[in-house]
Each structure stands twice: as structure tokens, then as C-alpha cells.
């Protein structure tokens, strides 16, 4: 696919400075460029590359004022990063396979497939599964009994959607995601062993959710584990049984959420954050990476850091003191030594 600067300006609501008919076929990093590519400048730290890039078109903000000559055609937009997101979607929109069901796929006769669906080789669609229009199922995907997929769902190779789970419209499930595995539930016995607790619930993933590779989402013990509309989960995240993640919350890699925890809407959670079970997190909460959340957060819009987590600003102030502890400890030792010497001198009295 080739697009001219003029066509891209119409698509992105931008303006062109330079050759409006120059064509590009793919995006590129500003440091690498290349003829026939479009790059972008969204951070002033990379401005030096604007004057050396070999990209044919450079996407910049309306306020950008070059200090040197720029060889690329400039495409000015109000929001560079928003335009980049739309641009990448446009260039990636024709990367799906055609609507072909591979002869090497197994589709149960009782499965219900809509129109314009692709199923890759060695994928399995079990009995009672319902797959709506426009879905793209890559190779070696497993779709269990009575699973429901909404429209335009993409399942990358190795994804597993287990029995009775539900995926909404326009979701992207990356490779080796497991949705609907049993939760971690065991009842201790008098003899010290553990008896497995059956999990008979399901997972409901609502519309416009993206789930990164190797993330696992456990089915509910009873009822459902919920991933609400617009949630974005990174790679390698563990979501326990009966968890409820609110709309438009984003969670970075290697975070873990224990069972029955409820996370509010529009939260931002860094990597390697751990949540204990059975707590609620208020809407708009921000949590720094590697924090541990051991108690509920009731007030919306707060930021936290540390393990156990405390108010973000308090943590930063506390850490500034923590770094000085070795120095402060030496001072305390010196003061103790001086006090001890004074006490010894006082006990000995004046010399004769």
C-alpha cells in the first residue's frame, strides 16, 4: 500500500509542507528513515534526527519550528502521537489473512461461524462455539466448548480460550494467552493435604480489549472474572479468579492480581505490581512499578509507590531519607561515642 503526503494529510487532518505527491509505503523510526517511509518527531530530544533522517515524510506538530533545513516533506498535525496511532492502524489494516478456513483446522460441526472469518492451520473450534463476523484466528489456536467471540476478534498463534468464556468485539488476544484456566483454589485438609476447589465460572472480556502474550486470566469459582471495555493488559500478567478490572484500565507486564480483587476504571498500573485478594481499588488510581498493594484504596485519583504501597509523594520523600541512612547511622554512632565519653568523664569527677 502506497499513500501520498496529500492523502495522509486528509486522513490525519494535517497540512503538508513540501511535495504533496511524495509517496510512502511503510512507517519507520526517525533514526533509521529510508526512502518511501514516513517517520515522526514527537519528542524534542530526537529533534537532531529531523535534520538527518532519510524518511520521505516526517510527521511533526503544528508548533514545530525547525532550526535547520529538513529534507523530508513535513506533515503537520495537532497531536503527533494520536496521528501515529492512526497511521500504524492504517498501515497494519491489510496484514490480516484472507477469510480462509484452513483444511488443517478442526471445526466442530456444532460450531457456529459467521461471515468473513479466517482460521489458521491446526486450530481447533469446539462444539457450541459461536464466532461472529470478521474474526481472524491464527494457527494453533484453541477455542473451547460454548465460547463466544464477538466481531473482528484477532487471536494470535497459540492462544487458548477455554470452555464457556466470552470475548467481546474488536479484541486482540496475543500469542499463548490462556483465558479460562482454573483459579488457584485449594482447601486445606486435616492431614495437611489440599483438596482442589472446582472452578465452574467463566471469563468475560468486553469490547476493545487487548491482552498481551503469555497473560493468563483465571475463570471464576462461580460467576465470572471480568475484563471490562477498553482494558489493555501487557504481556505476562496473572489475573486471578473472580477479579474485576474496570473500563480503560492499563496494566504493565508481570503484574499479578489475586482472586476477587476489584480494580476501578481508568487506573494505570506499572509493571511487577502485586495485589492481594479481596480488595477494591478506586477509579483513576496510579501505581508505580514494583509496588505491593496490601489494602483497599478508597479515594479516587491517588498515586502510590512502594511495598506495601504508600502515597507516591510520601514514598519519594521517605526514599530520599532512606538513601542517607548509612550516613545518618555513622553520625548517630559518633554522637553516641561523644555522649559516652562525656558520661565517663562526669562519673570520674574532676582530676586532683
Say how far apart CA 219 and CA 88 lie, in whole Å. 33
Take residue 328 and report the three cell numbers written for it: 545518618
Task: Specify whether the CB–CB gap between 239 and 259 falls below 8 A.
Answer: no
pLDDT for residue 347:
77
User: What string of pLDDT tens digits covers the 352 residues of the chain?
Assistant: 789 999 999 999 999 999 999 999 999 999 999 999 999 999 999 999 999 999 999 999 999 999 999 999 999 999 999 999 999 888 876 455 689 999 999 999 999 999 999 999 999 999 999 999 999 999 999 999 999 999 999 999 999 999 999 999 999 999 999 999 999 999 999 999 999 999 999 999 999 999 999 999 999 999 999 999 999 999 999 999 999 999 999 999 999 999 999 999 999 999 999 999 999 999 999 999 999 999 999 999 999 999 999 999 999 999 899 899 999 999 999 999 999 888 888 877 665 4
Query: Cell 460467576 appears where?
Result: 223
Residue 64 in any domain: the answer is yes
pLDDT for residue 83:
94
Residue 11 in any domain: the answer is yes
Q: Report how many domains make up the chain.
A: 2
Instruction: Please tell me whether residues 133 and 201 are part of one structural domain.
Output: yes
Instruction: Please tell me whether residues 80 and 141 are part of one structural domain.
Output: no
Instruction: Please tell me whether residues 76 and 126 are part of one structural domain.
Output: no
Q: Which domain-ending residue is among 92, 121, 154?
A: 92
Which domain covers residue 72, as residue numbers? 3-92
Instruction: Mark out the alpha helices in the chain (DSSP H runs).
Output: 5-12, 47-50, 80-92, 312-322, 325-348
Instruction: Please tell me whether residues 87 and 119 are part of one structural domain.
Output: no
Q: Please report how many Cα atoms fall inside a 13 Å half-sphere around the Cα of residue 2, on the Cβ side.
A: 8
Instruction: Please tell me whether residues 83 and 197 are part of one structural domain.
Output: no
CA angle 139, 140, 146 (to 5 degrees): 110
Instruction: Please tell me whether residues 83 and 139 are part of one structural domain.
Output: no
Instruction: Please tell me whether residues 71 and 117 are part of one structural domain.
Output: no
Residue 153 in any domain: the answer is yes
Instruction: Please tell me whether residues 116 and 173 are part of one structural domain.
Output: yes
**CATH number of the domain that residue 176 is part of:** 2.160.10.10
* pTM of the predicted structure, to 2 decimals: 0.81
Instruction: Please tell me whether residues 224 and 268 are part of one structural domain.
Output: yes
Angle, nearest 10°, between helix axes 80-92 and 5-12? 120
Q: Which domain-ending residue is among 34, 66, 92?
A: 92
Residue 206 in any domain: the answer is yes
Task: Specify whether the CB–CB gap between 9 and 20 falls below 8 A.
Answer: yes
Residue 192 in any domain: the answer is yes
Q: Of residues 108, 174, 241, 278, which has the active-site annotation?
A: 241
Please, which residues have CB within 8 angstroms of residue 108's CB and are 6 or more apart in sequence? 125, 126, 127, 128, 129
User: Is 241 a known active-site residue?
Assistant: yes
DSSP 96: S
Dihedral (CA of 269, 272, 276, 277) sign:
positive
**CATH number of the domain that residue 58 is part of:** 3.40.1390.10
Instruction: Please tell me whether residues 111 and 249 are part of one structural domain.
Output: yes
Residue 120 in any domain: the answer is yes
Take residue 316 and report the three cell numbers written for it: 519519594
Q: Which domain-ending residue is among 36, 58, 92?
A: 92
Instruction: Please tell me whether residues 303 and 201 are part of one structural domain.
Output: yes
Residue 9 in any domain: the answer is yes
Residue 327 in any domain: the answer is no
Q: If you compute the radius of gyration of the chain from its CA atoms, what whole number of angstroms results?
A: 28
DSSP secondary structure of 285-320: -EE-TT-EE-S-B-STT-EEEETTEEEHHHHHHHHH
Instruction: Please tell me whether residues 153 and 62 are part of one structural domain.
Output: no
Please give the distance of CA 239 from its chain centroid, rounded to a whole number: 13
pLDDT for residue 155:
98
Amino acid at each position: 500500500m502506497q499513500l501520498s503526503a496529500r492523502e495522509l494529510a486528509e486522513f490525519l487532518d494535517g497540512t503538508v509542507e513540501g511535495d504533496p505527491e511524495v509517496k510512502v509505503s511503510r512507517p519507520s523510526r526517525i533514526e533509521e528513515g529510508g526512502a518511501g517511509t514516513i517517520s515522526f518527531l514527537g519528542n524534542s530530544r530526537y529533534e537532531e534526527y529531523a535534520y538527518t533522517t532519510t524518511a520521505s515524510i516526517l510527521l511533526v506538530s503544528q508548533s514545530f519550528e525547525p532550526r535547520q533545513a529538513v529534507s523530508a516533506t513535513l506533515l503537520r498535525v495537532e497531536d503527533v502521537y494520536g496521528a501515529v496511532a492512526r497511521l500504524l492502524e492504517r498501515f497494519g489494516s491489510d496484514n490480516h489473512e484472507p477469510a480462509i478456513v484452513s483444511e488443517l483446522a478442526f471445526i466442530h460441526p456444532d460450531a457456529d461461524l459467521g461471515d468473513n472469518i479466517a482460521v489458521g492451520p491446526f486450530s481447533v473450534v469446539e462444539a457450541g462455539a459461536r464466532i461472529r463476523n470478521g474474526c481472524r484466528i491464527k494457527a494453533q489456536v484453541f477455542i473451547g466448548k460454548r465460547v463466544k467471540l464477538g466481531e473482528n476478534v484477532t487471536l494470535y498463534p497459540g492462544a487458548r480460550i477455554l470452555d464457556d468464556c466470552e470475548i467481546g468485539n474488536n479484541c486482540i488476544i496475543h500469542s499463548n494467552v490462556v483465558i479460562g484456566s482454573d483459579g488457584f483454589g485449594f482447601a486445606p485438609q486435616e492431614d495437611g493435604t489440599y483438596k482442589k476447589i472446582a472452578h465452574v465460572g467463566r471469563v468475560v472480556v468486553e469490547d476493545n480489549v487487548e491482552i498481551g502474550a503469555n497473560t493468563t486470566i483465571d475463570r471464576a469459582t462461580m460467576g465470572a472474572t471480568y475484563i471490562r471495555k477498553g482494558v489493555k493488559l501487557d504481556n505476562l500478567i496473572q489475573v486471578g479468579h473472580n477479579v474485576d478490572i474496570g473500563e480503560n484500565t492499563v496494566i504493565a507486564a508481570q503484574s499479578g492480581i489475586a482472586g476477587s480483587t476489584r480494580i476501578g476504571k481508568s487506573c494505570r498500573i506499572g509493571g511487577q505490581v502485586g495485589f492481594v485478594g479481596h480488595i477494591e481499588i478506586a477509579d483513576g488510581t496510579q501505581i508505580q512499578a514494583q509496588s505491593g498493594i496490601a489494602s483497599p484504596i478508597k479515594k479516587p485519583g491517588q498515586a502510590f509507590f512502594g511495598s506495601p504501597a504508600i502515597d507516591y509523594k510520601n514514598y519519594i520523600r521517605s526514599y530520599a531519607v532512606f538513601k542517607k541512612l548509612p550516613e545518618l547511622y555513622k553520625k548517630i554512632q559518633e554522637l553516641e561515642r561523644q555522649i559516652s565519653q562525656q558520661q565517663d568523664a562526669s562519673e570520674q569527677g574532676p582530676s586532683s
